[in-house]
Amino acid sequence: MSTHNRPMAGEASELPPIPPPPTATIQLFEQAVAAHSRRLLAIARAIVGNRASPEDIVQQALVNLFEHRCRYDWNEPGGLMRRAVVNESLRILRQPKMTSVEEEHAFGGDSPIHGMIDGETVQQVRWAIDRLPEHFRAALVLCEYERMEYVQIAEVLDASVPQVKTWLHRARRQMARMLAEFMETQGMRK
């Protein structure tokens, strides 16, 4: 009997794929950054809120990916880049809190009162999202803001689909509790 590890008929070879030349990898990386940076920034902003700079999070995630760029397939980089930003965001959230940064307010509408109410609503929702546990927050952001499917969220967060569903259910329930009083007062104002 032979003891060498040659694949048998019907088995796939376990040889690693031949990596593209370094210049091609850099070009694919740069194209991926150009194509995905706005979405990555939105993900970081939604997860960390005002606790850290979303730009710094995206930059650090991209630096980490660039340092190890030869390990990854840059032909379909969206999931890889989202996962890197989510992981970096969660890493930042686990650090001790720093002083908060002033929130940006998105005012709009027909009247100043309408703008104030919309701004207050946005502020309250951000406040509630900020208070969710890290994984609840990440799952909620990826589901509601990124419109990702449960399977994709599970891949990004390295969790099972049932776990993602549980996190989403609990996140929504906690947000509803946190926002209930605010919504009651909003009903009285209108």
Per-residue pLDDT tens over the stretch 39-57: 999 999 888 887 778 899 9
Query: What pLDDT score was predicted for residue 108?
Result: 42
145 against 80, higher pLDDT: 80
From residue 141, alpha-carbon distances to 61, 91, 150 in Å are 18, 16, 12
From residue 150, alpha-carbon distances to 44, 78, 155, 158 in Å are 19, 16, 9, 12
Q: Find the angle CA(136)-CA(129)-CA(163) to the nearest 5 degrees.
A: 10
Per-residue pLDDT tens over the stretch 57-67: 999 999 999 98
| Residue 45 phi, psi dihedral angles, 5° rounding | -60, -40
Query: What pLDDT score was predicted for residue 61?
Result: 92
Residue 160 has pLDDT above 70, yes or no: yes
Query: What pLDDT score was predicted for residue 162?
Result: 94
Q: Could you state, in order of their start, the residue ranges of all structural domains in the chain? A: 17-99, 106-190
Pick 106-190's CATH classification: 1.10.10.10, 1.20.1560.10, 3.30.230.20, 3.40.50.1100.
Answer: 1.10.10.10
